[in-house]
Amino acid sequence: MTPMTRTSAEIESNATAQPGSSPATGAHHTSNDTANELKRGLSSRHLQMIAIGGAIGTGLFVASGGTISQAGPGGALVAYALVGLMVFLLMQSLGEMSAKIPVAGSFQTFATRFVSPSFGFAIGWNYWFNWAITVAAELVAAGIIMDFWFPGIPGWVWAGIFLLVLTGLNALSAKSFGESEFWLSLIKVSAVVLFLIAGVLMIFGILGNDSPGLSNWENRDEVFHGGWVSIISVFMIAGFSFQGTELVGVAAGEAKNPRREVPKAIRTVFWRIMLFYIGAIFIIGCLIPFTDPSLLASGEADVAVSPFTLVFSRAGIAFAAALMNAVILTAILSAGNSGLYASTRMLYAMAHDGKAPKIFGRTNSRGVPIPALLATAAVGLFGFVSAIVGQGSAYSWLLNMSGLCGFIVWAGIAISHYRFRRGFLAQGNKVSDLPYKASLFPIGPLLAFALLILVIAGQNYEAVLAGRGLEVLSSYIGLPAFIVLWLAHRFITKSKLVPLHEMDITAPDDLELEPAGGTR
């Protein structure tokens, strides 16, 4: 490991004194290090679809049925709306920092500059691990999905093929990743739009045989089945469904015009995602009674009982199961593709910040950090192999740890933004100088942080109340792991909280002179 004791003030002074400083920290560069720079190849449509597609996956297509069964249609709607509010606040926070300082290190860089190097160290490794393990999980799920069409071929074969394909796409260039993610996300978005249209027509009796109308929303006890306890339980599930919306912050580091495109993506994506999630939950609640046993049975292994499949089938759409199987496969591959990209860029940025081995900071002539990509792909390879050969319990622990990591990163975004705005103003700047302004500051990051504490604390409250120790440890293992990383780095490096007046708020050199309107 390289030395990890630089403060943010030293980073800023080094950026001035040493023109060849790290691109990950947004400092100046010379021709000596251009071989190890990322390239800004993501266009507006790439960034828009990455932001939208990141939150549309199996959580919507599959898990939404279970949430309605557990909390009733009204309870599920309330839970997803609350999580949507939390995500909106977090994306405002991320948008303000990413538009000002669009770097691939994103949350890791922000946590390092605005909180402390140790906090950034823990956030960075936490996020890398989160998506590296998620890639492995998606590969396992892809193998299960392919069994629908090719039952005679083992799932590990498909997992291996998809890992090679995704690694190859990411190895070409940032633009090739963006292009593949654009089309994969477009398929998901199109499926949701088709579902919403078909659902509305069915509610009004224009499509399908029997129209239940709004009859499933008439009985209060059924609409809010289980009361607040069920809503809180579903709140946790909904939080997992929205993970991935933060990908736009990582992609900003390779966007062609981040000062203009990041704010645009942040402003529009929330309302689109809320339309998709809230609209879908409402339609499923109208068309499928919450007591329908198929809602609980829904999963990747049986796509025939996905709520989307059931609605399409009742609308008279032929091959509904095959259609949704294909859509869910694209959702899984999209998540794997994005996860591989995000974790690779995070490892690259940490290498440039002295928080990971230097080799991971190297790029090829197309600006792709190949060593970081191969290291992340290797974790994906290990993950699905361990799941297939029978290490199921160990793999489940890794997945549980990974799931909690995403919420910890979100909490890090809220903390970083709160301190960023205070430091920005303390250094004599005005809010109007920001390319994008989070309009609800300081309430936004504080409320988002409070909601995240609720989500993190309530991961598996049922196991806590029942005294199931091993299950509790499995659910919460990610939190002590994060704290150990943070405190160990702080103990070794003696790093301190970054003073507001010493925060490094400089942007990458190619953007520092660019006006907020974004003309490049």
Output DSSP code: residue 31.
T
The answer for 208, left when phi > 0, alpha when psi is -120 to 50, beta otherwise, is left
Q: Which residues, listed in sequence order, are joined to residue 42 by a DSSP beta bridge?
A: 255
pTM as predicted: 0.83
User: What is the rounded CA–CA span in Å between residue 139 and residue 384?
Assistant: 6
**pLDDT classification of 202: cutoffs 50, 70, 90:** confident
- What digits encode the pLDDT tens for the residues 132-143? 888 888 887 787
- 73 touches 284 (CB < 8 A): yes
Position 347, amino acid: L
On whether residue 12 sits in a domain, the answer given is no
User: What is the rounded CA–CA span in Å between residue 518 and residue 161?
Assistant: 40
- What digits encode the pLDDT tens for the residues 256-313? 888 888 888 887 777 777 788 889 899 988 888 888 777 765 555 555 567 888 888 8
CATH of the domain at 414: 1.20.1740.10
**Residue 384 pLDDT greater than 80, yes or no:** no
On whether residue 512 sits in a domain, the answer given is no
- What digits encode the pLDDT tens for the residues 314-347? 777 777 778 888 888 888 888 888 889 889 989 9
On whether residue 78 sits in a domain, the answer given is yes
Q: 513: exposed, middle or buried (C-beta count within 10 Å: 0-12, 13-18, 19+)?
A: exposed
Say which residue, 179 or 386, is predicted with more confidence: 179
Output DSSP code: residue 498.
P
User: What is the rounded CA–CA span in Å between residue 331 and residue 319?
Assistant: 18
On whether residue 18 sits in a domain, the answer given is no
Query: What pLDDT was estimated at residue 116?
Result: 94
Beta-carbon contacts of residue 18 (< 8 Å; ≥ 6 apart) = none
Degrees to nearest 5, angle at CA 347 with 335 and 380: 45
User: What is the rounded CA–CA span in Å between residue 135 and residue 146?
Assistant: 17
CA 403 remoteness from chain centre = 10
Query: What pLDDT was estimated at residue 167?
Result: 92
Report the mean per-residue pLDDT for the chain. 80
Q: Which residues, listed in sequence order, are joined to residue 255 by a DSSP beta bridge?
A: 42
Output DSSP code: residue 153.
S
Query: What pLDDT was estimated at residue 9?
Result: 37
User: What is the rounded CA–CA span in Å between residue 97 and residue 332?
Assistant: 29
On whether residue 167 sits in a domain, the answer given is yes
State whether residue 42 is helix, strand or coil. Answer: strand
On whether residue 466 sits in a domain, the answer given is yes
Q: Dihedral of CA 243/249/254/258: which sign?
A: positive
> Mean pLDDT over residues 230-254, rounded?
80
**Residue 406 pLDDT greater than 50, yes or no:** yes
On whether residue 296 sits in a domain, the answer given is yes
Domain count, the chain: 1
**Residue 448 pLDDT greater than 90, yes or no:** yes
**Residue 3 pLDDT greater than 50, yes or no:** no
User: Domain of 412?
Assistant: 46-503
Question: Smallest Cα–Cα separation from 59: which of 208, 318, 266, 238?
Answer: 238
On whether residue 511 sits in a domain, the answer given is no
Beta-carbon contacts of residue 93 (< 8 Å; ≥ 6 apart) = 413, 414, 416, 417, 418, 438, 441, 444, 445, 448
